Each structure stands twice: as structure tokens, then as C-alpha cells.
Amino acid sequence: MQLYNKLSAKERAALIEKAGEDRLTLSFYTYAHVKNPQLFRDYLFIHWNKMDVLGRIYVAKEGINAQLSVPAKRFSEFKSFIDSISFLEGIRLNIAIEQDNMAFLKLKIKVRNKILADGLNDETFDVTNKGVHVDAEAFNKLIEDPNTVLVDMRNHYESEIGHFQNAVTPDVDTFRDSLDIIEKDLKDHKEDKNLVMYCTGGIRCEKASAYYKHKGFKKVFQLEGGIIEYARQVQEKKLDNKFLGKNFVFDHRMSEKISDEVIAHCHQCGNPCDTHVNCANDACHLLFIQCEDCANEMQKCCSDHCKEIIQLPYEEQKKLRAGKQNSNHIFKKGRSENLKFKKSKAQDLQLQGN
């Protein structure tokens, strides 16, 4: 019985291209009591592998968090399977605005301690005592209220390329970091202000809303389905789009366009740009924003050093990487010292503050 991938990403990509069939990229999550996460994980793999489902899925005792790709012609079969699981029946599936058949190239289902790495001790508060869920229309009305504080619950590199108008965008590396910052900044308004939160698909707000209610906030709201569902409803209902730029997504696409505005800048030259790339040097692999001109000049690298490395024979590059940890630590996204414009901009802001 197959319980793990046997094909490489390259082999899978070739099969997808050969098939020439459309795939749907989607995501969903739910908090639920899963008694045996490993058994549930294997059960999902056996059935989804047969359906040619690909993606990245986390299973834990507290529930499931999934980003995946399904053959369009098998979506009904996939939905029926989902509905056959009691705590997933009728769950909202966030369908991506922009589709890409190569969004995922493997089926990875992993058992984790949590479906969201939040650094919180869930035993100290009731995670089911959540804030009020609002749809796109109600959300638009709420954020126009002068008594509302709108907070982006995502990390710095996500909000950099796109966010809602007038949103507070904490300059943080992790979801956990933003929780304390927001509580501190709004400590005097726990009872009188509407605390309205949003994230990519809703999972971070789900936990944050319960956390803030536990901390004494009385008026807590979250955007149902996150930016993904908001964009769908805006299109479907012809609503006023309050989102500026792109929505960062955690698959091969890296982002999907929500509005025409380009609010970010190339990290190397400073020109308007909102395209995330990974450094071509596999020993670095830094995630940063790079325009086409800089990509051509730098050969898709983040620095001159990395540019020199990729000129070496492949075997020599492998030797240089041997036994070393990836130099791009996970929280360096967009913050590397190698990013000249990003660094100079930070220095300018520091000087302005002095």
C-alpha cells in the first residue's frame, strides 16, 4: 500500500503537462478533535493519491490545514470524499482566483503538533470562543467605520505586496510576534474599538480572534475565508474592492492579483515591482522581490556572491553546500543584507527618525 510519494517534482510536472488537463488550486482548514492524526493522515493519502490530488497538508490533533491542487474533472469526487468525513462535511473550500496547473507537484501530508505554528499554549484559553465571522460586504462596511481598527495578521513579506486600505500591517516575521504587538498597541481600546482582522484564508484569524477575546477584547471580527474568499465575493457580487495589490500564496504561484495597484518595490533597484522570487543559488534560496531588469542583470540571484556561485559547475556547487545549513534562515525573507535597495531604504527611515 502506497503511503508516500514515489515521483519527483520533475516527473510529476512532466505527467501534468502530458495530460493537458486543467487543475483547481484550493485551500481549506478546520479546527476539530482528531484522535489519531497518523491514521487520519494515511487515510487521506490513500484516497487523495488515487484522485491525483497534490498539495501540502498538515494534520494534527487539533484539525487540518490544507493547500492543494485537484484535477478539475475530479472535483465532484473530491468534494464527495470531503463531505463523507463528519467534521469536514460542508466545509468552505477556498478556490484560488488565479489557477496554475503546476501550483503543487507532490502530495505531502504531514502530521504536526499543530496545524498552525502559533507558539501559543491553547490550554490557557478556549480556542472555540471565536470572533464574529463577516463576509466581504459586511467587512467593507465595518472597515469604513471610524471606530474600527483593521489589522493584517500576516507577516511582513506578505503584506508588503498587498493589503487592505488603511490596514495596520505589523512588521513581523511570525504570526506569534504580531499577537503581542497588536495587544500592546490597542490595550486602551479593548472595549470601545472594533478589532477587525484578516489573513490569507482565515486560519490565523481563527486562532487570533479567540486569543484576543481571551485577552479582553469585546468587539472582535474576522474576514470569513480571508483574502481568497473576499476576492471571489467581490467579483461575484460586484462589490467595491478595498484590497490593494497582490495576495501572497504558499504555492508555486507565490501570489495572485487582486487589484491593479503595484504597491511594492524591487529589493535591488527600488522600481515598482511585486514579484517574489527565490534566489537561483540553491545554497541561498532567499525569497525576495525582483523586477525583470534586475533578474536579467543578476541572473535571478540576490547578490553578486550568489551570482558567482551559480557560474560554478554543478558538482562544485554541491560540494560547497555539503554539510552546511541553508544560509537563508527562514525569517530572512526580504531582509537579507544582500538586498541593496531594501537595506538603503531601512537606513533612510532610521535617519529620518533620528
Give the separation between CA 256 and CA 266, rounded to whole angstroms.
17
- Local structure of 215: helix, strand or coil: coil
65 phi, psi to nearest 5 deg: -135, 115
Question: What count of other Cβ atoms lies within 10 Å of the Cβ of residue 58?
Answer: 22
Confirm if 93 and 26 have CB atoms less than 8 A apart: yes
Show Cβ contacts of residue 158 under 8 Å, excluding neighbours closer than 6 positions: 152, 200, 248
Give the Cα separation of 225 and 329 in Å (integer): 30
Can you tell me which residue has the cell 498538515? 58
Listed residue (45, 113, 56, 81) closest to 252, CA to CA: 56
**Dihedrals phi, psi of 288, to nearest 5 degrees:** -155, 175
Catalytic residues: 199
30 bridge partner residues:
64
Cell 503584506 found at? 159
Among 235, 233, 228, which Cα is nearest to 93's? 228
Q: How far apart are CA 83 and CA 87, in angstroms?
A: 8
Q: Cell numbers 478556549 label which residue?
A: 126
Residues 263/230/153/182 CA torsion (nearest 10 deg)? 100
Q: 18: part of which helix (H) or strand (E)?
A: helix 9-19
Say which residue the cell 493519491 belongs to: 49
Q: Rounded to whole angstroms, how far apart are CA atoms 225 and 333?
A: 25
